[in-house]
Structure 1
Amino acid sequence: MQLESTPELEAFRDKVRAFVAEHAPGTKTHAGVRAPAPGLMPAIRAWIAKLYEAGFLGITWPAEYGGRPDAHPLEPFVVAEEIARARTWPPVGAAALASAAVIDYGTDDHRARFLPRIRSSEDLWCQLFSEPGAGSDLAALRTRARGEGEDFVVDGQKVWTTNGQHADMGYLLARTDPTASKHQGITAFALDMRSPGVEVRPLREITGTTDFAEVFFDGVRIPAANVIGEVNDGWRVAMSSLGHERSGVAARGVELFASLEDLLRLAEDTSVSGRPALEDSATRQLIGELATRVHVNAAMVGLGRSRLLHRTEQPADAALGKIFFSELNHDLVASGVRLQGVDGLLTEDDPDAVAGGWWQDAHLYSRAYTIAGGANEVLRTQVAERGLGLPRETSPGSGPQGEARSGAVGGR
């Protein structure tokens, strides 16, 4: 495993860091993958457009659409890290996924229509994959799209759609052949979210914010020209595009180091039995354990990068990384709440809350990381089956010849 950077990559990092310091739209005050408040959206869209214009997003796109295919393959990771280090807003929406699908499977007309509007931030995309009965097992989706003349007509429901209330376009998966096997008969579409019959209902979460939405389709017409890839081949399109987006893993590693530093400061400022918490042996042991795990997470991120560079990625890599990060993140922020004692019951609405209630919000949100992108329980099955080669899990009561679970991971 080779983790060393290069002078060229470090020069690029310095350039990104200076750009972020000059142009970032302020501090992102909540942990996790969150939707901006409506009033922030103009500044966020302008920020995204500047990142594309400066060549810091869309790096791997075709050169004719502003990409730099000859760039160092780790440049997207550096950009994600520097945005996270500045504690500012990363690009919101599902443009990375949608653009990957359009570039690899779309038509020339798709690329000419959609990519420039993504670059200018005129179109913010959302990901319309997960459903109430098809989250971690995405192949169980039931939203239907039937052909009718030059259109497809869509009926159904999606849920956990991050930024759905802000999106102009949707990257939609729908079942076009209900008689086909589970992973067949699914088609990918580019959907105009302003189409008649699309209803977006923001969901208020335990944090008090509305980062997700549920989206309903009632006779929504999508032109057949908006099919991405081939009809009934949407599963392959979706899995390919999901494999393109890895830079967020690097950002999460930076966020863990930042939270660890915050926890140390909190332990210095908080008292336990009349002494600073950092002088308490149990507190020091806890922070030492968390610090060790944060460094292990960084090593796992580095291993993933090394395998990416050398094309030696293994089936369990992404699942293991997500499980380890999400459970470590929960333990870290929960420790921050516990250190506050009874003040840990305060929320961000209380003027006396430590750090404006950041720890409490992060603690409430932390469970989302263990579910989003595939529940950790399902991912452990993937690790067992695909990474360790253990026998496939079968459906309860199906017997030894029963149908194995797909283990497919849905997005939000």
Structure 2
Amino acid sequence: MKHLAWQSAHDVMETLEQHGHEAVIVGGAVRDYLLDKPANDVDVATSAMPLEVKALFEKTVDVGIAHGTILVLDFEEPIEVTTFRTEGTYTDRRRPDEVTFVRSLAEDLKRRDFTINAMALRRSGELVDLYRGQEDLQQQIIRAVGEPYARFSEDALRIIRGVRFVAQLGFTLEQETLIAMQKTSHYLGEIAIERVKAEWDKIFVSRAPEKAMYYMQEYNLGEAIPGAFEAYTKWQNYAAKDAKWGWTYWCILTNDLTLLQQYRCSNDEKSFVKQAKACYDILLQHQPTKFELFQYDLKYWKCAYELLALQNVTKVISYPELVKEKQDLPIQHVQEIAVTGKHLMTWTNQKGGPWLREVLDEIVKRVVNGQLENNEQTIKEWLQNEWFV
């Protein structure tokens, strides 16, 4: 527990325990600890009521006090502290209509999604494992807590969360859990698409996205959400650290850019996918021209080249050759052109208009293709001798 977040959680727990409250580390941090993996977040659950938590620490933020969560800022890292609770019905199949604060850790753990996430760790190092979560970790199984159908009926996002854990950990879905997912998969259509997209973002940077696609296709888990999953075998060797690569590859495999709109991707994501796909299409057909190399940044060519390699397509050019050809271009950016629109208007004694963009575009193309030297005097002579004749 050398990580700062772990130490801060330890300090929070010690304070709570000194005042007579039970306190444990819960959720993904415990799972990752048992897998000997670094945890992104270390959360504490406690028998203390929210106002009791606030009274014990100097610096707190009410990040979700209605659901029992207080952010404690007293130590090196901020720690979320949540009161043990039970949950009522889930009308929207995502969040409970009401929560009830309780003093029982056992009651709190039984509301959790999967056994591997339903373990708790005391400050002493004692593991509280009421649902065989450690055993399922060892057997590499994703199993719902309690009655699977109830878990997915009350919170349908758990379906794709389960698939995401399969992709991240390389595990398999336990049979009863999988059957319940199938029976409740239509409820995914009731979940805000932004929440579903957030799960795909994590799947696209996971260790085994092909497993996620396999379950979505073979067991019809994706029937209520956008996208096709038939090409899951083509994800076999896919690996990326940027989710935008995953969105690009999915759009390529399905030939469907509307996925970006359906999943409400950001403008940055849409721009990346469209440009990377354009590079992919170019590489699929021919060796890029100088102007095509100029048009797109290397990050798009890199993505396109790697995704093309997954398709076992013969490359028209090696990536190092592509990089060298791009680096050898006379200019790398439009801003490097030696003249501006003001130059052109002065030289021609004309006002701005559509002609200006047309001329500037032609200058850029000629410079990139080596047909026109990039200096002010040469461009001026070309303009006077060839454009306005």
TM-score, shorter chain, exceeding 0.5: no
- Greater relative contact order, per chain length (Cα 8 Å cut-off, separation 6+): 1
Give the TM-score band, short-chain normalised: under 0.3
Higher share of residues assigned helix? 2
Give me the TM-score of the superposition, normalised by structure 2: 0.25
Q: Which is higher, the Rg of structure 1 or of structure 2? A: 2
